[in-house]
Copies of this chain bind each other. A is one copy, B any other.
Amino acid sequence: MGKVKIGIMGATGYAGEELIRLLINHPQVEINYLSAKIDKPARIDEIFPSFKGKIGLICEEPDIEKLNRATDVVFLATPHGFAYKVVPELLKKGKKVVDLSADFRLKDSSLYKEWYHFEHKEEKLLQEAVYGLPEIYAEEIKKARLVANPGCYPTGAILAVLPLVKNNLIEEKLIIDAKSGTTGAGRNARTELIFSEVNESMRAYKVNEHQHIPEMEQELSFAGKQEFKIIFVPQLLPLNRGILTCVYAELKKDCSTEGLISLYKEFYKHASFVRIMEKGVYPQLKAVQGTNYCDIGLVVAERKEMVIAISAIDNLGKGAAGQAVQNLNIMMGWEETLGLR
């Protein structure tokens, strides 16, 4: 049986680059089509010299017909506001789609409009799309045609508190202080992203105004059957890859650090990519970079009845391309770790 044929739209961004890197080494697939917003067609190994000797495919402006002919599964690593225009046609042709943009994440299309400033026209597909966090929706992903791959910040934040939320252990107000490497800001030529501006500095941005807030609130509220309200302060770090997320929550009842660590280990015992730290150990970005892992450390601040949950992911791994490949594996009925170790 032949390999599954893959197309990637948005191949010249960092998530696109990471998808290519992962899929080149995936035993069950071959990459057959690459597109991007690009001045003129170019070999992908000239755009990313690290691919020299590994893949020489041409990357070109999107051509949906060609894409349809060449592929079985399509990854969309495109900017927000693009996917909802092409997904209907791809699904009609029988393709499976993993959309790394935000277009199909928010079930309430008015929230999408409010936070992303695009008007969603695919209400039905929106309801059909499965939120691609396997630690919650593995069963649904298995049967999905369309997976909405989670945002990087939501992945780190949701996994950090999911066992608490599912077990009704925390109050509704969550404080999320998250720090991200610069690939999270995309491969865009903007003055505030050039090296000399970012290096040796750090700053908060979009404080309490980041578009990932409704996504986190939606999924935590679904999971906890309780409305969660999120205070979110994203910050830009002078490093390439990784998100360190500290979540602060009030406990509804007395818990010990040891007790919560046990709870987490039990909760995530079948999760291939979640690792729970022992007491007194906290995750570090170094340990998850280039991987699909989410590492989580926990502590209860006893006198103050609060829990602090700290997670580390690679924003391009579990926060984007790695998770997208994990979703592909689940959609295709393969071992979920294929090509990710």
Contact = CB atoms under 8 A, between A and B. Distances in A.
Interface string A9-22: 00000100000000
Nearest to A190: B189
Interface string A268-311: 00000001000001111111111101010101010110101010
Interface stretch (A99-107, A116-124, A129-137, A192-200): A192-200
Interface residues of A, number: 72
A238 interface: yes
Interface in A174-211: 175, 177, 179, 181-183, 187-191, 193-205, 207-208
Contact of A282 (B175, B204, B229, B308): B204
Contact of A50 (B200, B208, B288): B288
A137 to B, nearest CB: 22
Contacts of A196: 14, 181-183, 187, 240
Interface string A235-275: 10111111010101000000000000000000000000001
A85 interface: no
Given A189-B191, A229-B304, A299 B244 contact: no
Q: Which secondary structure dominates chain A's binding surface?
A: mixed
A275 to B, nearest CB: 5
Nearest to A230: B304
A123 B16 CA distance: 52
Interface in A44-94: 48-50, 52-54
Contact of A175 (B188, B198, B248): B248
Q: Which of A193, A202, A287, A308 has the most CB of B within 10 A?
A: A202
A284 B197 CA distance: 10
Contacts of A183: 196
Contacts of A191: 187-189
28 contacts: A49-B281, A52-B287, A173-B304, A175-B306, A177-B248, A179-B202, A181-B196, A189-B189, A189-B190, A189-B194, A190-B194, A194-B194, A194-B195, A196-B240, A199-B238, A199-B240, A200-B239, A201-B239, A201-B285, A202-B244, A203-B283, A203-B286, A205-B282, A208-B299, A229-B303, A231-B248, A233-B310, A248-B248
Interface of A: 14, 25, 48-50, 52-54, 173, 175, 177, 179, 181-183, 187-191, 193-205, 207-208, 229, 231, 233, 235, 237-242, 244, 246, 248, 275, 281-291, 293, 295, 297, 299, 301, 303-304, 306, 308, 310, 312, 341
